[in-house]
Chains A and B, each alone.
Chain A
């Protein structure tokens, strides 16, 4: 622009090239390069658009001159051209429309044998275009519909019968192309579904490829003498065809008549010969593997397996036996597990052929085994042939060739077999039968789920053959998890090589078809295995001999193969009545595998008795006498007793339970809850042994105790002497209860209940021991241990010494205490009460138990004035009764006290009726009254009223606690008291 020189230069350049200035595009190397490029691109695009547009116009104008009757072919051509240009013009909608028209036009053409190929080729092209555009427009259903239409229209257009393989090839190609298109569309974001995915098209393509192969093998089986025609009718001068789909030897001929039949014949021959060289199998396998890949993607495992079978078969035809075998082997288990026996049999048959042709011994044997088995649906004559072959193989001979095999391949394989035969060594094959269904079934069964160590372990192995002829085996051995037993469980028979062909079914080592053979084994378990499981880890059946070939059928566990569990289930469900069989025979279906058994210790022949008196009392040394008596016939050695709390209970119990052998002294917390392995010594036959065990239970509740006696004893099993350990255990649940309940209460000196005590004023502590034990309990002694804040008023001595309490009886004690004033408002510790007791039992050695009862706290309250009365315990009518009241000032203050006495009907009295006085701190005032009872009986005293000026709370109620209110007054005495009573 601005650069003058540059614009001049540009103008010069334009002139030189005869271009208009508009057509010059400069690409300055600046930041805006992209923009310039786009501008240039648009310009090119426009040009291209215009060009194609004019081209379309041109073709359309051509087309207008055509008429349907004479230029049918050209119609298609032009229509296709228009569509193609539209496509190039990126006008896909119009392109699609025009393609569709072209497609319809193609099918309007008169089809004849000579132009059939051309029509199909064209239709194929156009169809491809249409489908591609449909996928591009994201209308996959249209594409599929178009394709279906295309196939339906063309399916029947076989063309020349001699070249029918061409049609099949074409069909295959159509499907493959569509599959490719579909797959491509999926890669670009289309989602396919299980029932509509490219796999189906690949599969169909493969089918047609197979058909092509068949047709080709039918039509092209020329003699080798037929030579390729010369000159080559497929050659053209230019080397290329003028029109697609036409025969090279008659290009451009529109007539349906064959102008030159000789030439035509040569042409067909050359095509057929060419077809002969095509590797059909390879094509088919490629298509199949494409399909497999697709079906894998769309969750069609069975379809995948099916295709893999086909691939395998195709490999087999292509003589690539190793690959075939690999594929077939891979899918076999799917069919086996689903129970499709017919399909499995057909696969196996092919696999057997492969393995035969490759002289793969192990595979050959495996497939034979399974083909002879019950899952195989082969006819008996087939089975019999296979079995004979198998026997031959076992004898290290070559088997007969499988039927329907390629003769050349058979020749080759026979040589391979011969090589194998001459090859010494590696003739032992172990075949794991777990994963397939061999013709020998095996079930091993222990006779019991557990055996005592002093009885021989017994088990049976049942074998059953499903093959048509009896088969001999050389050895049957069973392996256990403890390999020491393996040696006991072997059945072996050395037989001569010649025996194997004899059809006798007498020998024990011979399996008769359909009959169940039972082999019983018996061995003595080792004492170390007590408590362990003996398991059959494998059952090995050896067919053939070590001199020839030897096949070891190996069942893991107690037998059973790929389908036996299903069969067992069916048998269990069945209600079918089974015919009665002779005694020694069993129904195979009814047998269940029992591959393991427990070895348990010998049944003990001793008795254990426990003698005790439940329930136990808390903290006592509870005595339990264990009596062990031997009923063995020989000496029980190394007798050990384990006694105590049974493990596995509440953890707290362990801490609150102690067990000891010595009951004389009380045990403490350090004792264990379980005494393991107390050596007791030997027990002679019939000997009885007693052992006392002492248990202390710290808390109430039920406990389980275990008493476990173990000993060693010699026994003879099957002539074998073994030393085995026996044990017997006995558990007992013992309840623990409190021996007694202790109730404590505080009462005033008047025996009135106190909820609080007053400082410095004596009160009573009453204890009440109520026996809760079902057994009599002896209280040895009791003791009051006072805390520092309590002082006894008099001597503290026990009143319940050596008292025996029966159930429900109680023993009480009473202590007079005083509590000095305290400052704290809360309770004051009283101390504790210790009861020393024991169970009153005839056994004197029972230790005593101290039970400590913590006494309750008591609230101490101070009182301003304490009044106590001094009066006789009773009065007598008309006899003076002196009463002295002591008023004690408990405060630090001088107290004004108003004292009055209210008269009572029953008394006359003398003394100060009303007075006001002062009491100094800490001192006391004495008031003396002389009461004169007037009436007998329990009489109310004249009541004393005290009023404190300073403490209005001090009421007479409070006063009543300290001083008596009533007194018993006796009637006036007579001289002869006793006599009067006697008279009365």
Chain B
């Protein structure tokens, strides 16, 4: 999942049935992202950590956040019962996401701010999701 300027650029979820709920979860998690960013704004910009860590735990899901320097936000919601996912793995997943997002941005035909329709990105995200589930 991915968004910037607080509107979604790309949302993908597995399983798909309760999609709306995930959308809400991602949207609400932006509260915490905003708060964290504004808290970080005071720290040095160059040295800041992109990974925001666990945003907030709900009963069923864990929400992780990641913000690029251009304030593009990556939010990941995973099942909280999935204990196999460690912080490090989440971190590397975000890095992977960030890399492929950078690839998209490098596409001269992609217009920053448009919704992402990229097959490469889709397959990357799907493979990542397959891995997790």
Contact = CB atoms under 8 A, between A and B. Distances in A.
Contacts of A570: 111, 113-114
Interface stretch (B30-38, B40-48, B82-90, B91-99): B30-38
Interface in A327-364: 335, 338-340, 342-343, 346
A301 interface: yes
A814 interface: no
Contacts of B35: 194, 299
Given A346-B20, A570-B111, A195 B55 contact: yes
Interface in A568-596: 569-570, 573-576
Contact of A343 (B6, B20, B32, B114): B20
B111 A573 contact: yes
Interface string B1-44: 00001111001000000011001100110111001000000000
Contacts of A303: 28, 31
B114 A299 contact: no
A342 B22 CA distance: 11
B31 A299 contact: yes
Nearest to A342: B23
Contacts of B112: 573
A375 to B, nearest CB: 11
B70 interface: no
A122 to B, nearest CB: 23
B107 to A, nearest CB: 11
Interface in A195-250: 195, 200, 204, 207
A574 B112 CA distance: 8
Interface in B56-107: 56, 58-59
The A interface is mostly helix, strand or loop, or mixed, namely helix
Contacts of B32: 194-195, 300
A300 B55 CA distance: 12
Given A338-B6, A339-B7, A302 B59 contact: no
A883 to B, nearest CB: 100
A338 B6 CA distance: 6
Given A195-B55, A207-B59, A340 B7 contact: yes
Interface residues of A, number: 26
Nearest to A301: B31
Nearest to B33: A302
Contact of A340 (B8, B58, B111): B8
B76 to A, nearest CB: 16
Interface residues of B, number: 25
The B interface is mostly helix, strand or loop, or mixed, namely mixed
Contact of B20 (A342, A569, A573, A576): A342
B85 to A, nearest CB: 18
A960 interface: no
Contacts of B23: 340, 342-343
Contact of A576 (B55, B111, B113): B111
Contact of A302 (B8, B11, B19, B31): B31
B10 to A, nearest CB: 12
B109 A302 contact: no
A533 interface: no
B58 A200 contact: yes
B6 A339 contact: yes
A195 B54 CA distance: 10
A173 to B, nearest CB: 15
Contacts of A151: 59
Contacts of A309: 24
B99 to A, nearest CB: 23
B59 A306 contact: no
Contact of A306 (B28, B55, B111): B28
Interface in A433-472: none
A309 B25 CA distance: 13
B59 to A, nearest CB: 6
B27 A338 contact: yes
Contacts of A335: 27
B67 to A, nearest CB: 16
Contact of A574 (B30, B31, B111): B111
B53 to A, nearest CB: 10
B59 A340 contact: no
Contacts of B27: 302, 306, 335, 338, 340, 343
A207 B61 CA distance: 14
B70 to A, nearest CB: 14
A508 B129 CA distance: 51
A328 B56 CA distance: 25
A195 B5 CA distance: 22
B126 to A, nearest CB: 19
Contacts of B5: 339
Interface in A160-201: 194-195, 200
B104 to A, nearest CB: 15
Contact of A573 (B7, B56, B113): B113
Interface string A266-306: 00000000000000000000000000000000011111001
Contacts of B56: 195, 200
A301 B23 CA distance: 15
A576 B8 CA distance: 21
Contacts of B20: 342-343, 346
Given A194-B35, A195-B55, A342-B20, A302 B28 contact: yes
A809 B31 CA distance: 86
B4 to A, nearest CB: 10
Contacts of B111: 570, 573-576
Interface string A876-899: 000000000000000000000000
Nearest to A343: B23
A576 B113 CA distance: 14
Contact of B58 (A204, A346, A575): A204
B33 to A, nearest CB: 10
B24 A306 contact: yes
Contacts of A346: 20
Contacts of B24: 306, 309, 343
Nearest to A203: B58
A573 B108 CA distance: 11
Contact of A575 (B8, B30, B108, B113): B108
Contacts of A306: 24, 27-28
Most buried by B among A194, A204, A570, A576: A194
A339 B8 contact: yes
A302 B73 CA distance: 15
Contacts of A338: 6-7, 27
B119 to A, nearest CB: 18
A451 to B, nearest CB: 35
Contacts of B30: 302
A151 B57 CA distance: 14
A576 B111 CA distance: 8
Most buried by A among B5, B31, B58: B31
Nearest to B57: A195
A575 B109 contact: yes
Contacts of A301: 31
Nearest to B114: A570
The 4 A-B pairs at the shortest CB distance, nearest first, are namely A339-B7, A300-B31, A574-B111, A303-B28
Interface of B: 5-8, 11, 19-20, 23-24, 27-28, 30-32, 35, 55-56, 58-59, 108-109, 111-114
20 contacts: A194-B35, A195-B32, A200-B56, A200-B58, A207-B59, A299-B31, A300-B32, A306-B24, A306-B27, A338-B6, A338-B27, A340-B8, A342-B19, A342-B23, A343-B27, A346-B20, A570-B111, A570-B113, A570-B114, A576-B109
Given A346-B20, A574-B114, A576-B111, 15 more contacts: A194-B35, A195-B56, A200-B58, A299-B35, A300-B28, A303-B31, A306-B27, A306-B28, A338-B6, A338-B27, A339-B8, A340-B27, A342-B20, A343-B27, A573-B112
